[in-house]
Amino acid sequence: MASKTNPFQFIQQVRAEVAKVVWPTRREVALTTVMVFVMATLTAVFFFFVDLLIRTGLQALLGMFG
């Protein structure tokens, strides 16, 4: 069983761990945000064309038998 630490020690440990974090720069955040939007747009366009291809194929196939 883990030993209990008092609240003061806990806060000291949390502050020590937060000090180890390497925070991204404003430029890195902006660049990754733009990349997420670009990749989301490319994915949406890709699936739009896949959906269009499948729909066109199914309409042609069903039109042959309808």
Give the pLDDT confidence of 3-49 residue by residue, as tens digits.
777 889 999 999 999 999 999 999 999 999 999 999 999 999 999 99
Q: Containing H/E element for 1?
A: none
User: In angstroms, rounded to a whole number, what is the distance separating the alpha carbons of residues 66 and 61?
Assistant: 9
Q: Is residue 8 a part of any domain in this protein?
A: no
pTM of the model: 0.65
Residue 65 pLDDT > 70: yes
Q: Is residue 4 a part of any domain in this protein?
A: no
Q: Is residue 3 a part of any domain in this protein?
A: no
Listed residue (32, 30, 54) closest to 46, CA to CA: 54
Q: Is residue 14 a part of any domain in this protein?
A: no
Dmax (CA) of the chain: 77
Q: Is residue 35 a part of any domain in this protein?
A: yes
Residue 1 pLDDT > 60: no
How many domains does the structure of the chain reveal? 1
Q: Is residue 50 a part of any domain in this protein?
A: yes
Q: Are 45 and 37 in contact (CB under 8 A)?
A: no
Q: Which domain holds residue 56?
A: 23-65
Q: Which pLDDT score, from 0 to 100, does residue 56 have?
A: 97
Q: Is residue 51 a part of any domain in this protein?
A: yes
Q: Is residue 13 a part of any domain in this protein?
A: no
